[in-house]
């Protein structure tokens, strides 16, 4: 079991990430369009209810976008070696979340044709939405090529200590764990992929050994120091 070379997402994972990023962009474009519409048409005392409805819709779009974006980053992470790109790629959801509301907040607060009450209600709802979109869009535990490489090495080490062949593990299409045994109850009868632990990461970003398989492996794996004792006696 050699030390893993630097993690690289598979072409399949990259393709899926690209697709997710396109949908994320689409959601953000719609959010921005909604904001422009709200600024142009809905900042008035008479349309306050519709302005609030628009804020909720924009918030849903912004959060949808950043959720898809973060999912894509987990399939195809950035490298910490390029700090600017790393920051922008991982925090784009927060940036877009704030941008989806900041102009609107400023336009509401600076509007001279609405009452103070409307200003207070619309302004505070939009500001809360901006903070919510910013926080949910931020990635507080951003994935990176380096982190993945390190974690794969840790997983390989752990597998080694359990006598699991790290080049021969199983995972199903829907699952998010890998399995040491293809007859594990969780994957019985499912279509399985088979390959190394590293490949399970490259294809799906799978990061964890199934608990049942872990127990089973721990039971059957006699620690090497105990084995030595048995052999020498």
**Residues making contact with Zn ion (CB under 5 A):** 179, 184, 186, 210, 212-213
173 contact partners, CB below 8 Å, separation of at least 6: 190, 191, 193
Give the Å distances, CA to CA, from 66 to 33, 120, 188.
17, 28, 34
Question: Smaller CB distance to Zn ion: residue 150 or 208?
Answer: 208
Q: How far is the CB of 205 from Zn ion (least distance, A)?
A: 18
- Cα within 13 Å of Cα(120), Cβ side: 3
30 contact partners, CB below 8 Å, separation of at least 6: 61
Question: Smaller CB distance to Zn ion: residue 20 or 184?
Answer: 184
Question: Smaller CB distance to Zn ion: residue 87 or 186?
Answer: 186
Q: How far is the CB of 215 from Zn ion (least distance, A)?
A: 9
Question: Smaller CB distance to Zn ion: residue 100 or 184?
Answer: 184
Tokens representing 98 are 């704030």
Q: How far is the CB of 90 from Zn ion (least distance, A)?
A: 31
Question: Which residue carries 């924009």 as its tokens?
Answer: 58
Q: How far is the CB of 9 from Zn ion (least distance, A)?
A: 24
């Amino acid at each position: 079991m050699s030390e893993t070379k630097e993690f690289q997402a598979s072409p399949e994972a990259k393709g899926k990430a690209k697709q997710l990023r396109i949908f994320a962009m689409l959601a953000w474009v719609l959010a921005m369009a909604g904001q422009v519409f709200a600024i142009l048409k809905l900042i008035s005392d008479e349309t306050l209810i519709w302005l609030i409805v628009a804020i909720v819709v924009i918030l849903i779009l912004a959060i949808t976008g950043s959720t898809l974006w973060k999912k894509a980053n987990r399939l195809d992470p950035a490298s910490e070696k390029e700090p600017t790109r790393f920051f922008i790629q991982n925090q784009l959801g927060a940036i877009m979340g704030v941008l989806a509301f900041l102009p609107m907040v400023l336009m509401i607060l600076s509007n001279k044709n609405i009452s103070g009450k409307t200003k207070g209600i619309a302004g505070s709802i939009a500001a809360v939405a901006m903070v919510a979109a910013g926080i949910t869009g931020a990635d507080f535990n951003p994935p990176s090529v380096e982190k993945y490489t390190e974690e794969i090495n840790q997983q390989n080490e752990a597998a080694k200590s359990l006598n699991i062949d790290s080049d021969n593990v199983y995972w199903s299409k829907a699952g998010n764990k890998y399995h040491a045994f293809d007859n594990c109850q969780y994957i019985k009868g499912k279509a399985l992929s088979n390959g190394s632990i590293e490949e399970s990461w490259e294809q799906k970003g799978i990061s964890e050994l199934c608990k049942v398989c872990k127990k089973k492996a721990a039971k059957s794996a006699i620690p090497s120091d105990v084995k030595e004792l048995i052999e020498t006696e």
